[in-house]
Structure 1
Amino acid sequence: MKVLIAGGAGYIGSTVASACSDAGITPVVLDSLVTGRREFAAGREFYEGDIADGPLIDRIFAEHPDIDAVVHCAALIVVPDSVADPVGYYRANVAKSLEFAEHLLRNGSTRLIFSSSASIYGADTDLTVDEDSPIAPQSPYARTKAVCEAMFADIAAARPLRVLSLRYFNPVGADPRMRTGLQLRRPSHALGKMIQAWEEGVPFRVTGTDYPTRDGSGIRDYIHVWDLATAHVAALAAFDTLLPETGTETGTGTGTGTGTGSAASSAVVNVGTGTGTTVRELLDVFNSVVDAPVPAVDAPARPGDVAGAYTRSERARRVLGWEPRHSLAEGIRHSLEWAAVREDVLGHSV
């Protein structure tokens, strides 16, 4: 099997590529390197360019006519940045994805796994969600993912494209073999900020302390990035069973929350641990792993931040035969191990 991974030189896409390789699937990587790293595509078929570049997509399929499926991980993902630059986010995440879909259809590519986000949900009062929970994105970034899902479902209902959207939660950790990890030295998410505070010997800022959670801090479903990558591999294996080319009803339901598409052409699956962890609890686990505990100070929420949610993940187990294997403590340890070797892999420019 051969798979085109758009955004395959980024944190998640490169880990998916490694998981594919380990499973005997050949990855072909497409990445603009706006946020991805060339080093993460080393040793793989790699094309530098944009998903909206039609001639480049045509060349990839001409040179690899045996591509069986496409995994779409290419996106801008920083919530506060999306608040500051919604035009840029809609252009990169929505407009270019529409162009990409047209290029795939022109080349006869009919299997698409879309890396979506659980940030599109409006959480229930207990802060849990499943695939049929209301869609209520609270940031421009989240809305771009919701718009893409609806757009892909509409296209799939009318054209021979079948789309499986994986709505995943908060990835942490690194490839356990340290081939790839977060490319940024100073990532903006909570664990990245904890590592920075630990390295600098300063308190960690808990941004947002009056959310309706058990301790007032935001709650997230932290999934090890390697578990997330193996979920993509499981989705590739299950794709034709979940979305058969014949258009036969599978009975899984789409759970799109959009009212568009059909069960035979598009579907969604949550990929998370099923466990909610607050930011304060994340810090407790972090401090159980490191030798010098990091103190906390309270701070205001960042633009676009929300209370958060975690998944009820029965569907992933049922239709993908997948479940997470790595603990949060392992994710933290692997993040720390990656932080220690990142400059050796990527140099001092990150």
Structure 2
Amino acid sequence: MRALILGGGGAIGSAIARHADATGLEVHVGLRRGASRARLALHPAIRCHDTDVRDTASVGHTLAMVRPDWLVMAALPAGHPAQEAQRRAFLHDMCDGVLSVLPAARMHGFEGTLTWIGSAMTYGVGGAPRHTQAPLRPQTFRGAVKAAESLLVAQLASEAGIALREVRVFTGYGPYEQRDRFVASLLRAALTDGRVRLAPQPARRDWIHYDDIARACLATAALPPHGPARIFNACSGTLADTRTVATMLEDIVGRSLIADAPYEVADAYGDVEPGVRPDPSEGLDWSPRHTLAEGLAHAWEWATTREGRDYLLSDATA
């Protein structure tokens, strides 16, 4: 199988690329010109292509060169934009990506499976475990944009006759996570004898290791490449708060990581409930392999390698 992962230089996209490469697939990634390839540096078999997912011609050129059997869209900026200009740019990036990737795939006769990386933030307020059939009631700007993206890409995929599989990712963590995120901050603190501030009311999350996210995405590629759009959660199905995560890592690394002073920035994530994992009757042969403790131990093992230290202690912000 030949895979093309758009946004393959990001945390999730690169995890999918590395996993697919390890399983023997021919892996290609599309990256913005000049984008960092640090997350792929140890995988020389992965072929990189300058690709602007906001430009139909650029995506089409890469599709024509690679001719993939499996196409993954994992490109969207991280973060929670708050200012008007930032929000406009974020929304435009989403729209440009959808309105470039789907038309390019249709024009170039793509007949495989398109796996689109969605977000659990589309669910929003609910008060119950997040099932893929739950209504979308996002309560953050990022969640609203991802909800709009989910609806738009499903419509365009249907019009183009493309088999769409959306994977809604819950709180991912693991090697090469963005350096300013929680688990990466804890790992960096462990390497430097630092401390991480925690909110007085620890935030709860459904944590899912990047390797398990990558496995879920690859499992969607094994589904028949036809039929209506299908949605799957990449989640553990349980919640753990940030203090629990920090305490687990303290036990793993053998040192204190929690600062005395509290973290006072407002939580941008919104309402959280655990996800409902795919049922075998849905045809997806996937369940997480890492418990939270195992995943954190794996992340620490990576952090102590040369590449892990170099990445986490770099001044870069990707």
* TM class by smaller structure: 0.7 to 0.9
- What CA deviation, in whole Å up to 9, does each residue of 1:288-342 have, x standing for no partner? 2121122344333436332422212143674211011112122222323333323
Deviation for aligned residue 1:201? 3.9
Deviation for aligned residue 1:346? 9.4
Query: How do 1:1-350 residues align onto structure 2 when only pairs under 5 Å count?
Result: 1-32=1-32, 36-37=36-37, 40=40, 42-65=44-67, 67-79=68-80, 82-84=81-83, 85-110=86-111, 111-126=113-128, 128-174=129-175, 181-182=176-177, 184=178, 187-207=179-199, 209=200, 216-238=201-223, 240=224, 245=226, 264-296=227-259, 297-302=261-266, 304-315=268-279, 318-340=282-304, 341=306, 342=308, 344=310, 348=314, 350=316
Deviation for aligned residue 1:75? 1.0
List gaps (5 residues or longer) in structure 2: none
Is this contact kept in 2: 1:114–1:166, CA < 8 A?
A: yes
What CA distance in whole angstroms lies between the structure 2 residues aligned with 1:116 and 1:56?
22
Task: Mark the CA change 1:319 to 1:289 in structure 2 (over 3 Å): closer, same or farther.
Answer: same
Q: Which moved more, 1:155-164 or 1:268-277?
A: 155-164
Q: Secondary structure at the match of 1:223?
A: strand
Q: Secondary structure at the match of 2:165?
A: strand
Letter in 2 for 1:190: F
What CA distance in whole angstroms lies between the structure 2 residues aligned with 1:114 and 1:316?
20
Deviation for aligned residue 1:40? 0.9
CA RMSD of aligned residues (A): 2.5
Identity, % of aligned positions: 23
What CA distance in whole angstroms lies between the structure 2 residues aligned with 1:346 and 1:205?
18
Is this contact kept in 2: 1:12–1:225, CA < 8 A?
A: yes
Task: Mark the CA change 1:35 to 1:11 in structure 2 (over 3 Å): closer, same or farther.
Answer: farther
User: Higher relative contact order by CA 8 Å / sep ≥ 6: 1 or 2?
Assistant: 1
Is this contact kept in 1: 2:173–2:208, CA < 8 A?
A: yes
What CA distance in whole angstroms lies between the structure 2 residues aligned with 1:316 and 1:193?
36
TM-score (norm 1): 0.80
Task: Mark the CA change 1:311 to 1:131 in structure 2 (over 3 Å): closer, same or farther.
Answer: same
